[in-house]
Amino acid sequence: MGYYDLKKLENPNDKTALEKKHVPFIEAPDEVKKGEFFEVKVSFGKEIVHPMEEGHFIQNFDLYAEYYQLARVDFTHEVKAEATLTIKLEESSKLRVFAYCNLHGQWEGSKDITVVE
Ligand SMILES: [Fe+2]
């Protein structure tokens, strides 16, 4: 399984067990004020918690606003795979998270945020 094999949720009404564990779950307001800080919580996953064991864990995730990288978070297997970041946006954007599981490869999750003046 290579880096180019990016996986995301195929059908929200029929999630596979792998999707439930790996698709990054993004909690953030639907609407924020331009340039004002707000919190974004990323976890894995919503329905089934991804294991954090020596041989199987979420190694990292990158947070993007569209194609602009905002942050990278690295994990060891001794840490719960979740993080809350405080960010600000200048314009409405799709927040995108790319996460890497050492066994199951790279996964994308996203959430649209509307920015108001
Ligand atoms: Fe995994």
The 10s digit of each residue's pLDDT in 56-96 is 999 999 999 999 999 999 999 999 999 999 999 999 999 99
**Distance from residue 21's CA to the centre of ligand 1 (Å):** 7
Domains by residue range for the chain, with CATH: 7-93+105-116 (2.60.40.730)
pTM over 0.75: yes
**Distance from residue 70's CA to the centre of ligand 1 (Å):** 24
Q: Are strands 38-43 and 7-8 parallel, antiparallel or unpaired?
A: unpaired
Pairwise CA distance, residues 107 & 103, whole Å: 12
**Distance from residue 65's CA to the centre of ligand 1 (Å):** 24
